[in-house]
Amino acid sequence: MEFAAFAERVERLEAEPADLETTAIVADLLADAGDDLGTVTRLLLGRTYPAHDDRTLDVGPASCREAIARAAGPNVAAADVEDRLASRGEIGAVAAGFDFGGQRGLSAFGDGSDPLSVAEVDGTLRELAAATGEGSESRKVDALFGLFNRCDPAEAKTLARLVLGEMRIGVGEGTVRDAVAEAFLAEDGPGSGTEAGNGERDATTQTDDGTDGSDGDGGDDAENRATDEAYAAVERALQVTNDYGRVARLAREAGIEGLNAERIRVGRPVQAMLAQAGTAADAVDSFGEVAVETKFDGARVQVHYAPGPDGFGPRLYSRNMDDVTDALPEIVEYVADRIEVPVVLDGEIVAVDDDGSPLPFQEMLRRFRRKHDVDRMRETVTCRLHAFDCLLAGDGDAESDRDSDGDGDEDAPGDLLEEPLRVRHDRLVDVLPDAAAELRVVDDTEAIAGIESAALEAGHEGVMLKDPTSAYTPGNRGRDWLKRKPDVETLDAVVVGAEWGEGRRAELFGTFLLAVADGDEYEPIGKVATGLSDEELEELTERLEPHVVAESGTELRIRPEVVLEVGYEEIQTSPTYGSGYALRFPRFVGVREDKSVEDVDTLERVSGLADGRGRAGDDEANDGTGDEANDGTGDEANDETDAGNPS
């Protein structure tokens, strides 16, 4: 494709405010891109390389201005370009405002016999990215000058913006994603093609490091009519590859089937699976059995490693797929020392103290992404990997683990994305036992609360609740993973009643009725039975027995004397208790030895907390699934708000 044709579409896109039209123009452009489809797709997004490839052009604005000045002729200096930039504010408009030597009809090539092609521009941009060392800056200016010299105004505008990474034409990833589906997978899409193409699919599409050499025939199959399916296939392939150019080519040449066959592989990070906020009751209700893991307070990292001479890494990618390997040498060493098969692992990096206990998130931030002083900082803050998922694990058989033809398209040995979490976790324990986060499968909320208390006690952020049967869905913020953050606020409430325990705890009080102050009265607000050890129960029984004022069956009425601090997930209005409110999932935090009954929280505060709902710093919504143990208070509607952006 000629670069002028690309630039002309870019101008049309820039002038088009309507989203639907934008998508249609992009779809047309992709359909017309021919051999340059991969390149055009990336350039539209202002990229030379796929998002996970951290190579950059590394051309400073000054070099770009100098190249523009030189191409504009002897009377123009870099300072003039700078002046115009100051008044116009945008490099594309500045570049378009000059008469370059190559303007059609004016230049030495004025007969149009040497038009710039998209491939040529892309090739030069890649050369810029590769140029390093002494003299590289001036070589970059030379190369850019060569391009600008052959540009007409529209081309110059697009080129300057590409070079400085400022496309700004209103074409985002979502537009390209939709346009790919519409161009190649819709029945009447612009790239659906009328010629055969069917059954002739080329599943060996190359990576973005080369051209694809396809002939541009569309893949218009019957199956492509399912538009929802087509969008979903494009989206999934993007989540797995993060390579728009590759996905566009796959859509064209291999259709939905080809997109769906795309697999995870070592060296190509996939988007991280995300969690929604949820409660223990949600997890038990929806999963039955719940896989409970510690929620580590650190930074997400994806580990890619293939041992051996022809191997890869270890390399570490952040949640946004930035390469953060160089900042974390001890993790690299740790992984390289222990892992013997190709792997892709998901986990969290946390900063730890000398005893291995977690340090606050801010400490870890002093290490993550650090480019300078890595060795010195390594002495100051130690990082540790907690791996919690295994997305790929080879079996160690070199034959099956290797991508033998090097095209990256082999049937991805060891791909575990579709496997249930339990299976993935077993593989994780096989490949990296000491760093594998413990996964406990339980089926009741009490057990979850117990694990959460232990996690909090150990200094972690809380727990994650996962469906043990669920697949790993890259980029998806679904309901298969729930993040259960600890309660932010606690309440100080006084014990006004108790119930005898059961079984081996029959001699002890097991459940405590709590109340808050309403003027001179104490109004009950909930019962707490969770979070108490046998010893604490013994102690509390001893403390409370002298204050028992009445007993009926297993229930006791107790004079308000002892104040407990309790956590909870939520405060709901409730007809059950005199206070008019009920705590959901009340959890014993401690006895407030320092507080007397005069100091307990008031109904007023409770009512304020209840109105405030979604507590500070907590992005979850009220879930409203009732919890039997908590007196049937959960009758309000679902109010899910955590449809956050999976970035």
Is position 300 annotated in a ligand binding site? yes
Of 315 and 483, the one with the shorter C-beta distance to ligand AMP is 483
Runs of H (alpha helix) within 191-328: 227-241, 244-260, 280-287
Q: How far apart are CA 72 and CA 95, in angstroms?
A: 9
DSSP symbols for 41-56: HHHHTT-SS-TT----
Distance (Å, rounded) from C-alpha 249 to C-alpha 39? Answer: 10
- Is 124 or 302 the residue whose CB approaches ligand AMP more closely? 302
Considering the complex, what minimum distance in angstroms separates the CB of residue 346 from ligand AMP?
7
Q: Are 446 and 530 in contact (CB under 8 A)?
A: yes
Listed residue (268, 243, 324, 217) closest to 48, CA to CA = 243
Tokens of 189: 């899409």
Token pair listed for 127:
């050369």
Residue 317 is which amino acid? Y
Neighbours of 534 (CB within 10 A): 11
The helix/strand/coil state of 433 is helix
**What residues make contact with ligand AMP under the rule CB under 6 A?**
272, 275, 293-296, 300, 319, 348, 388, 437, 464, 483
CB of 257 to ligand AMP, least distance (A): 31
Identified catalytic residue from 140, 295, 466, 485: 295
107 vs 294 by CB, closer to ligand AMP: 294
- Residue 197's SS3 state is coil
Smallest separation (angstroms) from ligand AMP to the CB of 613: 18
Q: Judge contact between 487 and 438, C-beta under 8 A.
A: no
At 87, give phi and psi (nearest 5°). -85, -35
Beta bridge partners of 468: none
Minimum CB separation from ligand AMP for residue 638, in Å? Answer: 19
Decide: residue 254, CB within 10 A, 0-12 exposed, 13-18 middle, 19+ buried: buried
- Cβ(151)–Cβ(102) under 8 Å? yes
Half-sphere exposure of 278 (CA within 13 A, CB side): 28
Determine how many CB atoms are found less than 10 A away from the CB of residue 434: 9
Pairwise CA distance, residues 459 & 436, whole Å: 18
Minimum distance of ligand AMP from residue 478's CB (angstroms): 13
- Closest CB to ligand AMP among residues 148, 481: 481
Beta carbon nearer to ligand AMP, 51 or 275: 275
Cβ(275)–Cβ(327) below 8 Å: no
Q: What's the token pair of residue 209?
A: 């490091």
CB nearer to ligand AMP: pick between 113 and 647:
647
Is 427 labeled as ligand-binding?
A: no
Smallest gap from Cβ 611 to ligand AMP, in A, equals 24
Cis preceding-peptide flag for 586 (omega within 30 of 0): no
| Interatomic CA distance for residues 517 and 578, integer angstroms | 11
Any binding-site annotation on 157?
Answer: no
Which residue's CB is nearer to ligand AMP, number 350 or number 556?
Answer: 350
Tell me whether residue 477 is annotated as binding: yes
Residue with the CB atom nearest ligand AMP in the bound state: 300
Alpha-carbon distance of 456 to 444, in angstroms, equals 19
Residue 499 known to bind ligand: no
Least distance in angstroms from the C-beta of 322 to ligand AMP:
14
Nearer to ligand AMP, 49 or 296 (CB): 296
Active site residue 485: no
Task: Give min distance, CB of 570 to ligand AMP, in A.
Answer: 18
- What is the C-alpha to C-alpha distance for residues 424 and 205, in angstroms, rounded to an integer? 29
3-state secondary structure of 449: helix
Take residue 248 and report the two structure tokens written for it: 């566009």
User: Is 348 labeled as ligand-binding?
Assistant: yes
Residue pair 234/185 in contact by the 8 Å Cβ criterion: yes
Catalytic annotation, residues: 295
Query: Which residues define the annotated binding site for ATP?
Result: 293, 300, 319, 348, 388, 477, 483
Query: Which residues define the annotated binding site?
Result: 293, 300, 319, 348, 388, 477, 483
